[in-house]
Structure 1
């Protein structure tokens, strides 16, 4: 998969044996100015340095991986069994269990995510097998998602390559140039209630049942194979629970997990001092370290979210499994120097909506309105002075 191979670490990606060449994002087939050449030389030095730092943490551990399978997938299955038993007692017991299962499903998705990066197990076959199993639990086609997510890693922070695996983000100029209908649609897309309740459920339950037109044959087949697996799993649970009890339990678990997952993904890249650049200025290390947050969560939430809060480390090297991310973060000042975002801090991310290319930061609709009012006041003052 060519997009996965853009990672400058030079790691073997799941499809690197298919004869597709790796491409270093630092390299460009265009003529460079002396200043640009100096920047590229600096970037290469940075890459060489952090490659040495992360190398030891890229090693998969069979013991750690199996333990996570046991305490995550095993516990998730146990919670479904407890939901079944609780049906004969009271829904007041079933619903809280389903909510906890939804939280645990986030951790199941992190295992799925690591399998997609080829980092969870050393064995490719083990990654693909557990990627498919956890994909069925999270309603996500493994190969299709892996291709889509590789695009996200290859293009995050690149203004000219937005669109796949991103939260829709417009620049100020793009927003102002939009029609009234276009502005309304964008406002609805970025509305917190819609973004973290309706959109996640629709995405995981409906949208992911279909492949992108641009997907290759294997990715498209993986979607239909996963749909069959999901129907088979649902049929088995319905035969045990009954349709309505299963539907309620399933909607609660997938609803909680998808909303939490969207929130995590949002705060990992949508914060005021995020990183966005045009292709000519885009740089891999900066995109990872400046464009991905260090979400410092309470330990219990860190456990449920599978250490994905160390997102700056993950984007620097996606081949580090989740169970090594924390150790890698604390191994070098390069990582610990990144300003952490606390749970309380993260709620401020709800206000950011647009990328201000002049200020190099994400701003709110309110900030844009005030900027325009100030500009109008300045224009009126100049007119009077004239």
Structure 2
């Protein structure tokens, strides 16, 4: 059975509508405001970025392999390896973003080319392509839906209080939350950046229970992207998930062979440390798209596709965001509204819809690292506002002490 993962979310769940500057704005209104060519991926442009990224990755790797070991001064050699890891990590992430575009069908008009390239790109970066594609599509369909979203679903008062070992009454009686010591908070951020992506792949952490097909499994890998028969997927998807695992196996085998022939330390430096940076960027970018003190979440009764898509924020990554990461952070709101728009048209499409959205368009162009610190400390749990009509009710982030590391990982939806 062939499964279509690239249907636009609005076509599946309905567009909903939001209050704009002058009227209620719909998905169709926004679509008409965007030049038609923005919805048409170009083979030439997409392949240009693909080969450009491959060239950059090859250039960084070649320079590191031949020149860094020749640096005689040890501290300078260490600095060079660290710099290489950071820059190659950006290149890896940009390459991964192109695989992400394949998953959405925005890389090219060809479904076969999209899925073939996406499988190769993501497999080479230890990402299970079809498994990620399936759950990521549902994240786009149900973005910021507390009952069904797949990414960064925050705990509500009862869940958060339970992890902290207090009652809901005690939690809500605190007028002002005391932030953790800066060193402790920094350590927790590092833990999130290191473990967030692998834990999501292994255990579906940060997703809501409603994102599963059936009851949550207590078995090892029962809710995993690596298990073709896990609760994340329908039975008819199993063959695609097996293909994902084959891709991971081939890459792991290649890395093992390279380690045996060129040295484990060399492969750790050339591939391992850029991969850790890739880990970091995937988590950081996704987290900051959907976690902001002034943006809401919704229960199913109040949620619509438009509300969810617009409870997303564009961030600033400066030069690296534009030239290395294909604008994945800088223009993400438009990506949630129209996921088939290629990255090279997202700036133009964003500018086209901003006048219609007015205050419903959200951006934070401040420092990315400062935003991470701000969101991590101020967005620990969510509480409903006082609106009586459940169809109009929103849930807003609240600050709070960060739970200790020994807390149950399954309960910490924010890690």
Please classify the TM superposition score into its range, dividing by the shorter chain length.
0.7 to 0.9
Q: Deviations over 1:252-292 (max 9, x none)?
A: 11101111221111100010122311212111112112x11
CA 1:121–1:335: 2 relative to 1, 3 Å: farther
TM-score of the pair, normalised by structure 2: 0.72
Residue 154 (structure 2) aligned to one of 147, 150, 169: 169
Retained in 2: the 8 A contact 1:275–1:286? no
Q: Deviations over 1:116-154 (max 9, x none)?
A: 001011111211121012112321111111001011111
Q: Deviations over 1:146-196 (max 9, x none)?
A: 00101111111112214x3x124111243235573999xxx9999322111
CA displacement at 1:25 relative to structure 2: 2.9
CA 1:178–1:245: 2 relative to 1, 3 Å: closer
Which ranges of 4 or more aligned residues in structure 1 deviate by more than 6 Å?
A: 187-190, 204-207
CA displacement at 1:67 relative to structure 2: 1.2
Alignment of 1:4-83 (within 5 A): 5=7, 7-8=9-10, 10=11, 23-26=12-15, 46-54=26-34, 55-83=36-64
- Report the equivalent of 1:357: 384
Residue 340 (structure 1) aligned to one of 346, 359, 363: 363
- Report the equivalent of 1:106: 93
Retained in 2: the 8 A contact 1:329–1:336? no
CA 1:180–1:4: 2 relative to 1, 3 Å: farther
Does residue 294 of structure 1 match 2:314? Answer: yes
CA 1:343–1:159: 2 relative to 1, 3 Å: same
Distance 2:15 2:339 in 1: 17
- Report the equivalent of 2:230: 213
- Report the equivalent of 1:375: none
CA displacement at 1:353 relative to structure 2: 0.9
- Report the equivalent of 1:264: 285
CA 1:6–1:160: 2 relative to 1, 3 Å: farther
Residue 306 (structure 1) aligned to one of 308, 315, 326: 326
Larger Rg: 1
Does residue 155 of structure 1 match 2:180? Answer: no
Q: Deviations over 1:41-100 (max 9, x none)?
A: x87x61221122344311101121011012112211222222221353144333322221
Retained in 2: the 8 A contact 1:105–1:253? yes
Distance 1:3 1:205 in 2: 21
Distance 1:336 1:97 in 2: 41
Unaligned runs of 5+ in 2: 72-76, 169-179, 204-223, 387-394, 403-415
Unaligned runs of 5+ in 1: 11-22, 28-35, 368-386
Distance 1:46 1:125 in 2: 32
Distance 1:94 1:121 in 2: 36
Q: How many residues align?
A: 335
Q: Secondary structure at the match of 2:352?
A: coil
Retained in 1: the 8 A contact 2:309–2:336? yes
Distance 1:114 1:82 in 2: 28
Retained in 1: the 8 A contact 2:85–2:269? no
Greater displacement, 200-209 / 80-89: 200-209
- Structure number with the bigger relative contact order (C-alpha 8 A, sep ≥ 6) is 2
Residue 306 (structure 2) aligned to one of 263, 266, 285: 285
Greater displacement, 294-303 / 134-143: 294-303
Residue 112 (structure 2) aligned to one of 106, 125, 141: 125
Q: Secondary structure at the match of 2:147?
A: helix
Q: Secondary structure at the match of 1:356?
A: strand
CA displacement at 1:334 relative to structure 2: 3.1
Residue 141 (structure 1) aligned to one of 111, 128, 140: 128
- Report the equivalent of 1:195: 192
TM-score of the pair, normalised by structure 1: 0.77
Does residue 244 of structure 1 match 2:265? Answer: yes
Retained in 2: the 8 A contact 1:3–1:151? no
Retained in 1: the 8 A contact 2:118–2:129? yes
Distance 2:282 2:328 in 1: 10
